[in-house]
Amino acid sequence: MVLFNSDYTEGAHPKIMELMMSSNMEQTGGYGMDAYCDKARALIRQQCGREDIDVQFLVGGTQTNLTVIAATLRPHQGVISADTGHINVHETGAVEATGHKVIALPSADGKLTAQQVLDCYHEHWNDATHEHIVQPGMVYISNPTEIGSIYHRSELQALAAACRECGLPLFMDGARLGYGLAAEDNDLDLPTITDCCDVFYIGGTKVGALFGEAVVIRNPAIAKDFRYSIKQRGGMLAKGRLLGIQFAALFEDGLYFDISRHAVKLAMKIREACESKGYSFVVPSTTNQQFPILPNALIEKLGEKWGYSFWGKIDEQHSAVRFCTSWATDEAAVEQLCSDIRSL
C-alpha cells in the first residue's frame, strides 16, 4: 500500500539527512543562534530579495500560527481568516487559547478577497457599538490554501493594498508554499510575497524537511521581541541548528523549488486521470493536493491499494477524497494509481 494521505508520510529529503549526519557531532550554541541558522537566514534573505527582514525558525505550523498571531495582536483584536482557514478549523482553538477571536469570513475557494477585508474593516468601524465587538487586527491567509487553491499576484497585491489601507498586518501561512510556487498558473515569487506580507512563513514540514517553518518578518513591530514569544509559546528548539541545517539544505541549490515541482507534476497526473474520466473536484487545484469527487465504489476499490484521506460525503453515490503528493512521491506509483483511476 502506497500512501497519498498527506504530504508528511516520509522523513526528510536525503540531502537534509546527509547534512544532519555529517554535522551531528559538531558543537554549536542553542536556540537558533548558530552558524547553520545564520546560513539559512542569509539564503532566505537572498531569495526574498531583501536584507532588512528578520528570519526565525519554528518547529510546526500550528505553533507558528499561534505565536505570530499572539505576538501581533492587542488583546481586544481578532484575526480575519477565511472560514476554511487552518487556524479556524484544525488547530484545536490554538488562537483562541492565546485570547483572540478568529473572525471567519465565508470563502468558497479558501481565499480571502481585498473587498472582503475592506468590508469587514469598515463594517466594524461604522458600527456605533464597535467597542462591544472584536476589532479586526490582522489578516491571515494561506497560500496554497487548505484546499489547494493559490493566490495570484494581482489578488495578493490587492489584498496587501487593502490591508495597508486599513492598517492591518497581513500574515501568510505558507505551510505548503513550495507547492504553490511550483503551480503552473502561479505568478508569485518570494520577493513579491515579502513585499506584500508583513510576515509569512516558508513551510518545511510538508516540503522536504523533518520539521520546521521559516518565518520571514518584514514588519519591524512584529519582529521586535519576537524571540521572547517563540520561547514563551514553547517553540524555541534547544538544538536550533536542526532547523538551520534543514533550511540551509533546502535553499542551497534550489532544492526547495525542485522538489516542489516534482510533487506538483505528479499531482497534475492524478488530476488529469480524474478529469479524463469526467470526475469533478471540490475546488480546482493546481498544487500538490487534489480533491476529486469520486463514485463510492471506485473509492472503495482504490482503497485496497492506495492510501487517501476521506474529505466528505457529497451525495449518496459520491464522496470527495484527498490525494497528496510530495517531494517523496514515486512517479511509478502515481502512474499505477492513475491507471487504476482510469480503469477501475
Which residues ranging from 72 to 91 are in contact with its own copies (CB under 8 A)? 74-76, 78, 89-91
Q: Which of 43, 160, 162, 210 binds its own copies (CB under 8 A)?
A: 210
Helix axes of 241-252 and 35-48: crossing angle, nearest 10 degrees: 40
Which 299-328 residues touch its own copies, going by CB under 8 A?
307, 310, 328
For residue 226, the tally of other CB atoms under 10 A from its CB is 19
Helix axes of 241-252 and 14-22: crossing angle, nearest 10 degrees: 130
Q: Is 17 in the site for its own copies (CB under 8 A)?
A: yes
Q: Which of 38, 96, 109, 252 binds its own copies (CB under 8 A)?
A: 96
Q: Are 36 and 248 in contact (CB under 8 A)?
A: yes
Residue in this structure with the C-alpha cell 473572525, named with its chain if needed: 103
Candidate ranges 95-103, 155-163, 181-189, 257-265; the one touching its own copies (CB under 8 A): 95-103
Candidate ranges 1-9, 41-49, 182-190, 277-285; the one touching its own copies (CB under 8 A): 1-9
- Shortest reach from residue 63's CB to its own copies, in Å: 3
* Cα distance between residue 111 and residue 138, in whole Å: 15
What letter does residue 344 receive in the DSSP assignment?
Answer: -
- Shortest reach from residue 340's CB to its own copies, in Å: 18
Q: Is 10 in the site for its own copies (CB under 8 A)?
A: yes
**Closest-CA residue to 37 (of 247, 201, 328, 181):** 247
Between 59 and 141, CB nearer to its own copies: 59
Between 21 and 332, CB nearer to its own copies: 21
Q: Which of 15, 39, 50, 101 binds its own copies (CB under 8 A)?
A: 101
Q: Is 21 in the site for its own copies (CB under 8 A)?
A: yes
Q: Are 82 and 105 in contact (CB under 8 A)?
A: yes
DSSP bridge partners of 172: 141, 200
Q: Which of 208, 235, 244, 292 binds its own copies (CB under 8 A)?
A: 235
- Shortest reach from residue 113's CB to its own copies, in Å: 22
For residue 276, the tally of other CB atoms under 10 A from its CB is 11
**Closest-CA residue to 166 (of 65, 77, 82, 52):** 77
Q: Is 293 in the site for its own copies (CB under 8 A)?
A: no
Element (H, E) at 106: none
Candidate ranges 42-50, 236-244, 272-280, 313-321; the one touching its own copies (CB under 8 A): 236-244
Between 13 and 271, CB nearer to its own copies: 13
* Cα distance between residue 111 and residue 9, in whole Å: 26
Q: Which of 51, 52, 92, 315 binds its own copies (CB under 8 A)?
A: 92
**Closest-CA residue to 71 (of 179, 163, 194, 198):** 198
Q: Which of 186, 229, 286, 325 binds its own copies (CB under 8 A)?
A: 229
Cis omega (within 30 of 0) for bond into 144: yes
Which 103-132 residues touch its own copies, going by CB under 8 A?
128-129, 131-132
Between 61 and 110, CB nearer to its own copies: 61
Candidate ranges 49-57, 151-159, 190-198, 233-241; the one touching its own copies (CB under 8 A): 233-241
Q: Is 262 in the site for its own copies (CB under 8 A)?
A: no
Q: What DSSP letter does each residue of 121-153 carry, written as one string? A: HHHHHHSTTGGGSPEEEEEEEESS-TTS----H
- Shortest reach from residue 39's CB to its own copies, in Å: 16
Which distant-in-sequence residues (6+ apart) come within 8 Å of 8 by Cβ?
205, 206, 326
Q: Is 24 in the site for its own copies (CB under 8 A)?
A: yes
- Shortest reach from residue 291's CB to its own copies, in Å: 16
Element (H, E) at 84: none
3-state helix, strand, coil in the chain (%, to 5): 45, 15, 40
Q: Is 61 in the site for its own copies (CB under 8 A)?
A: yes
